[in-house]
Structure 1
């Protein structure tokens, strides 16, 4: 069978069922059309290298200088703001799984656009608790991590981190309770995999950062040499102008 013969069913399917942009509805070959991608996915260039919050200048925000987090870097592809926030919610709660590879592509571009940033040795999706995983049927962080790993050439370890406590969803907890809500929630299944290595934590969105901070601290306790967060969207601080 020739390559052309192998490809023709996919080409025919594209003609019979053309896709449309998830943001504007216009016909396009992918999940999001090029004009929407260029308009809504322009990266915020002045971000803290450590937590990815917007800053006026320099490499690191005052908060990370005063209280360094357990992770060394955070890379995000976009702000968690309209209309991209709706795509995040559709992936997380409506099982629109085709969005995950597109998130991974945007995140790959953001990683490669960060000069001097070392690639992780392995990727670890932020795990869901057993009850939430059973209810949802999938882990959106893992759905992003798999294509991201292929794009970056980095191995993905789906069960490297385990959620040993079924905590309340951070979105339903007040900001001042989030650190306590997530404390002690994670464990590392195979510490030998991360000892002395650079671990990349993958998630769909980073809001307060407490979940990633707790998981990064857990990785460090089990011997990780460096931890980086790779998240599709970053929630801007209150009062920040986009």
Structure 2
């Protein structure tokens, strides 16, 4: 049974979107305007006309993860906030963004009851990228989400020992090739995944190549199930490779 997360003292602060004073980092008005729940494929997180367990693409090629939880589409204002958080040193945004993701996870579990994960893992960064950025934004999210939900988290169980090209400039097929053999489970702790349910956290899910490869590695290492938790989901582009 999960423990209840300890209560935290909240002080008035400025909303990161509209800059008005609010009780949290993102005010209720901005959440209602920019992050209203939308019908999505519960497997990959893409917006659909109806809330479906699996969209056509996931039916044709089921991914190695069970479900996807996301806060909103990757669009204004989330693209601006995530860029600042990820590339411009604004690590303090991890807390308000993680609170949004934790709330989305709670809604998802309430709507589709399932066991809570045994552990929460971030999508890892390669060593050179971590040195360049100074922190792994996925780990900053993962540890705050896990703490909010009173779940264990682990920064090193999934690893990315190889430096690969930046994904942002690659096509869908190039992303898939770029990530082959990029990830591995810690070889000294593989038993830690045996029969476990895992939540995999990242900031943005674009084509899904990164979380697919990460989830596949976790499943091969013995994880019983993997679900994906992301802040934002890039809308589908049928013309993309």
**Equivalent residue for 1:38?**
32
**Equivalent residue for 1:182?**
179
Contact 1:121–1:199 under 8 Å retained in 2:
yes
Which of 61, 64, 69 is the equivalent residue of 1:67? 61
**Equivalent residue for 2:3?**
none
Contact 1:75–1:110 under 8 Å retained in 2:
yes
Once residues 226 and 109 of structure 1 are traced to their aligned partners in structure 2, the CA distance between those partners, rounded to angstroms, is 21
Question: Is 2:91 the partner of 1:92?
Answer: no
**In the superposition, relative to structure 1, how do residues 169 and 147 fare at CA in structure 2: closer, same or farther (>3 Å)?**
same
Q: TM-score, normalised by structure 2?
A: 0.88
**In the superposition, relative to structure 1, how do residues 112 and 29 fare at CA in structure 2: closer, same or farther (>3 Å)?**
closer
Query: Please, which runs of 5 or more residues in structure 1 have no aligned partner?
Result: 1-9
Max radius of gyration: which structure? 1
Residue deviations 1:199-241 (CA, integer Å, cap 9, x gap): 110011100000000000000111111000011111110269x
Which has the larger displacement, 101-110 or 18-27? 18-27
Once residues 67 and 33 of structure 2 are traced to their aligned partners in structure 1, the CA distance between those partners, rounded to angstroms, is 26
**Equivalent residue for 2:75?**
81
Question: Is 2:209 the partner of 1:215?
Answer: no
Which has the larger displacement, 82-91 or 115-124? 115-124
**Equivalent residue for 2:123?**
126
**Equivalent residue for 1:47?**
40
* Aligned residues between the structures: 225
Q: Shift of residue 54 of structure 1? A: 1.3
Q: TM-score, normalised by structure 1?
A: 0.88
Secondary structure of the structure 1 residue equivalent to 2:21: coil
**Equivalent residue for 1:193?**
192
Q: Shift of residue 96 of structure 1? A: 1.2
Once residues 111 and 118 of structure 1 are traced to their aligned partners in structure 2, the CA distance between those partners, rounded to angstroms, is 12
**Equivalent residue for 2:143?**
146
Q: Shift of residue 30 of structure 1? A: 2.9
Secondary structure of the structure 1 residue equivalent to 2:146: helix
Secondary structure of the structure 2 residue equivalent to 1:55: coil
**Equivalent residue for 2:225?**
226
**Equivalent residue for 2:5?**
none
Once residues 117 and 75 of structure 1 are traced to their aligned partners in structure 2, the CA distance between those partners, rounded to angstroms, is 13
RMSD over aligned CA atoms reads 1.8
Contact 1:200–1:229 under 8 Å retained in 2:
yes
Secondary structure of the structure 2 residue equivalent to 1:229: strand
Query: Please, which runs of 5 or more residues in structure 2 have no aligned partner?
Result: 1-8
Q: Shift of residue 19 of structure 1? A: 3.6
Once residues 68 and 31 of structure 2 are traced to their aligned partners in structure 1, the CA distance between those partners, rounded to angstroms, is 21
Contact 2:198–2:226 under 8 Å retained in 1:
yes
**Equivalent residue for 1:5?**
none
Contact 1:167–1:181 under 8 Å retained in 2:
yes
Q: Shift of residue 35 of structure 1? A: 1.3
Contact 1:121–1:155 under 8 Å retained in 2:
yes
Q: Shift of residue 83 of structure 1? A: 1.4
Contact 1:126–1:142 under 8 Å retained in 2:
yes
**In the superposition, relative to structure 1, how do residues 214 and 239 fare at CA in structure 2: closer, same or farther (>3 Å)?**
closer
